[in-house]
Structure 1
């Protein structure tokens, strides 16, 4: 798949996101990009925001998001500060079996 084909929806989404704002962006693991799992990552690059990919569970605890990533032989747990209207909220790309 040509990267240019992936950049078209990513640029369109990034422009809309910049216009309307957001508290948290959650992308699926794939769809119109033929499951290349790139659109969420490209949007993060365009908006210069952190991206956490392969997310399998999200839980909010106060101002913190507890994020799990299911890896081959392990589950990685990380915390991300969550402040609505923050200048740099994370972008999450998630597995289909998100909890």
Structure 2
């Protein structure tokens, strides 16, 4: 894979993560679960890419790809988990008035 293609794919994955963070404030559980599942594809892509770096290649290239795939995959995984964690409601109870 050429470096240009890899940079484009990384940009797409980061854009997806930023889009998910932008809509994270939604209260709909269905939308949050759907977005978390949408991230599953890119996460698996990063896992496959990380595992592929264990094939024989130049060590500096190998570590570069491991860091990129690992970093993007970890970031997407954290984003997906953050979507699935239920946040407490911000509503104010009647006792506080």
Does TM, normalized by the shorter one, top 0.5? no
Between structures 1 and 2, the one with greater strand share: 1
> Which structure would you say has the larger Rg?
2
TM-score, normalising length from structure 1? 0.32
